[in-house]
């Protein structure tokens, strides 16, 4: 198969983790006989510096030409004071919207080799295997009106029926091949938008009688994730709640650097590790590339339907974790491995 993939390394550690992920992609191509057609584009702070805008037209065209896009990270400290529309993050948000990737799948699992890496007690995190389905192209991130002036700042959390329906279908379909439980997370004790969300989820759930649906308020969900994470199978939630809860997932997985994600719509797939650009460790070959490498596995599965290849990558990640060759964020007993070494180790384990 010919895999047409656009790489958007972006900012900070994005460049380093993307390079490691590409190494693994190449190893997959070689082992399973697939050809890679890789292109590269600008997104985020680097795109602002080079073209004046975080999501240049050329990048948009490259996305449309590719079968799938792999993004590294966006965000640079020099834009901290800039308004949202002129920040690196606006590039990623623009791309999600243009590609209409409304469902962001963020699997959170505790690998057996990593139970000691989590700051939580082993008996709490052991066996965690959940997936957060985060609505990605609506809610507070995009709602109108929005703005700020001297005396007032405001955003709008708004959802249409269609937006809730389509991401709910994604969550229920995923649950069918898992443990058949969906937990929908909202704040319906305070927000109308959440009451609406809950109502539509209940309607859609009628199409999936074999799936057990439960509702949870977001504050309680944050607590339950660290109290008893094994209770969750598929967690469905809106954009902002999903952003926040997936960072909690990083604690369960041992490090946020472990978390991959797949952003899916009707057509294109965008693959993005959950972590940010981590300017504090950028350029030091220290960052954990396994979130990016896991995102490659997700790409093989969801865009290309290459299940055997996806499983091989995930198995290779498991082997490398067992070997103890991991980056500093996972608190290894011996000397931490570099980003490059972890990428090479995963390729070798393939």
Q: Which residues are catalytic?
A: 141, 187, 219, 243, 247
As measured in angstroms, the least distance from the Cβ of 275 to Mn ion is: 8
Measured from the CB atom, is 94 or 318 closer to ligand IPM?
A: 94
Measured from the CB atom, is 91 or 208 closer to ligand IPM?
A: 91
Q: What are phi and psi of 28, to 5 degrees?
A: -65, -45
Cβ neighbours around 57 below 10 Å, total: 9
Query: What are 309's two structure tokens?
Result: 């290849």
The listed partner (Mn ion, ligand IPM, none) that binds 75, CB under 5 to 8 Å by sort, is ligand IPM
As measured in angstroms, the least distance from the Cβ of 210 to Mn ion is: 32
Query: Contacting ligand IPM (CB under 6 A), which of 243, 301, 309, 329?
Result: 243
Helices marked H in the chain: 14-32, 45-51, 57-65, 88-99, 122-125, 161-176, 192-205, 218-227, 239-253, 290-302, 307-323, 339-349
As measured in angstroms, the least distance from the Cβ of 42 to ligand IPM is: 16
As measured in angstroms, the least distance from the Cβ of 234 to ligand IPM is: 18
Measured from the CB atom, is 27 or 259 closer to ligand IPM?
A: 259
For every residue of 305-324, DSSP letters joined together read: --HHHHHHHHHHHHHHHHHT
86-115: contacts with ligand IPM (CB under 6 A): 89, 92
Q: How many residues does the chain have?
A: 350
The answer to the question of residue 309 lying near Mn ion (CB under 5 A) is no
Q: Which of 110, 119, 93 is nearest to 329 (CA)?
A: 119
133-152: contacts with ligand IPM (CB under 6 A): none
The listed partner (ligand IPM, Mn ion, none) that binds 74, CB under 5 to 8 Å by sort, is ligand IPM
As measured in angstroms, the least distance from the Cβ of 24 to ligand IPM is: 21
The answer to the question of residue 243 lying near Mn ion (CB under 5 A) is yes
| Helix, strand, coil share (%) of the chain residues, nearest 5 | 50, 20, 35
As measured in angstroms, the least distance from the Cβ of 315 to ligand IPM is: 26
Query: In angstroms, rounded to a whole number, what is the distance separating the alpha carbons of residues 179 and 210?
Result: 10
Measured from the CB atom, is 243 or 301 closer to Mn ion?
A: 243
The listed partner (ligand IPM, Mn ion, none) that binds 89, CB under 5 to 8 Å by sort, is ligand IPM
Cβ(69)–Cβ(262) below 8 Å: no
The answer to the question of residue 253 lying near ligand IPM (CB under 6 A) is no
Measured from the CB atom, is 12 or 113 closer to ligand IPM?
A: 12
Buried b (16+ CB within 10 A) or exposed e, 335-350: ebbbbebbbbbbbebb
Measured from the CB atom, is 24 or 92 closer to ligand IPM?
A: 92
The answer to the question of residue 301 lying near ligand IPM (CB under 6 A) is no
Q: Kindly report the CA angle at 281 between 276 and 285, in degrees rounded to 5?
A: 105
The listed partner (ligand IPM, Mn ion, none) that binds 92, CB under 5 to 8 Å by sort, is ligand IPM
Measured from the CB atom, is 74 or 114 closer to ligand IPM?
A: 74
Q: Is 250 exposed, middle or buried (0-12, 13-18, 19+ CB in 10 A)?
A: buried
For 210, residues 6+ apart whose C-beta sits below 8 A from its C-beta are 176, 180
Q: Which of 12, 233, 22 is nearest to 132 (CA)?
A: 233
The answer to the question of residue 74 lying near ligand IPM (CB under 6 A) is yes
Q: Is 321 exposed, middle or buried (0-12, 13-18, 19+ CB in 10 A)?
A: buried
The listed partner (Mn ion, ligand IPM, none) that binds 107, CB under 5 to 8 Å by sort, is none
The listed partner (ligand IPM, Mn ion, none) that binds 265, CB under 5 to 8 Å by sort, is none
The answer to the question of residue 75 lying near ligand IPM (CB under 6 A) is yes
Binding site for ligand IPM (CB under 6 A): 74-75, 89, 92, 243, 274, 276
Binding site for Mn ion (CB under 5 A): 243
């Amino acid at each position: 198969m010919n895999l047409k993939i656009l790489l958007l390394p972006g900012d900070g550690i994005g460049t380093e983790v993307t390079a490691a992920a590409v190494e693994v992609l190449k190893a997959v191509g070689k082992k399973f006989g697939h050809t890679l057609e890789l292109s590269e584009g600008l997104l985020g702070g680097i795109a602002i510096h080079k073209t004046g805008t975080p999501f240049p037209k050329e990048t948009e065209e490259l996305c449309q030409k590719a079968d799938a896009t792999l993004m590294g990270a966006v965000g640079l400290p020099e834009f901290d004071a800039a308004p949202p529309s002129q920040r690196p993050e606006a590039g990623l948000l623009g791309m999600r919207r243009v590609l209409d990737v409304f469902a962001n799948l963020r699997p959170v699992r505790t690998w057996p080799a990593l139970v000691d890496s989590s700051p939580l007690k082993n008996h709490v995190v052991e066996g965690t295997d959940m997936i957060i389905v985060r609505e990605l192209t609506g809610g507070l991130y995009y709602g109108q009106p929005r703005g700020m002036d001297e005396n007032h700042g405001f955003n709008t959390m708004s959802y249409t029926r269609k937006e809730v329906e389509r991401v709910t279908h994604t969550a229920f379909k995923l649950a069918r091949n898992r443990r058949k439980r969906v937990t929908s997370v909202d704040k319906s004790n305070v927000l109308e938008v959440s009451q609406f969300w809950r109502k539509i989820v209940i309607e859609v759930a009628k199409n999936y009688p074999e799936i057990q649906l439960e509702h949870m308020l977001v504050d309680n969900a944050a607590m339950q994730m660290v109290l008893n994470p094994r209770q969750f199978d598929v967690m469905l939630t809106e954009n902002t709640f999903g952003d926040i809860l997936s960072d909690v997932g990083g604690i369960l997985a041992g490090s946020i650097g472990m978390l991959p994600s797949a952003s899916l719509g009707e057509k294109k797939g965008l693959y993005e590790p959950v972590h940010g650009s981590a300017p504090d460790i950028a350029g030091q070959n220290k960052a954990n590339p396994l979130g990016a490498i896991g995102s490659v596995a997700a790409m093989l599965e969801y865009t290309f339907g290459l299940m055997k290849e996806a499983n091989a990558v995930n198995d290779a990640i498991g082997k490398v974790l067992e070997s103890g060759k991991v980056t500093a964020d996972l608190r290894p007993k011996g000397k931490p491995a570099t980003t490059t070494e972890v990428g090479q180790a995963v390729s070798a384990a393939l």
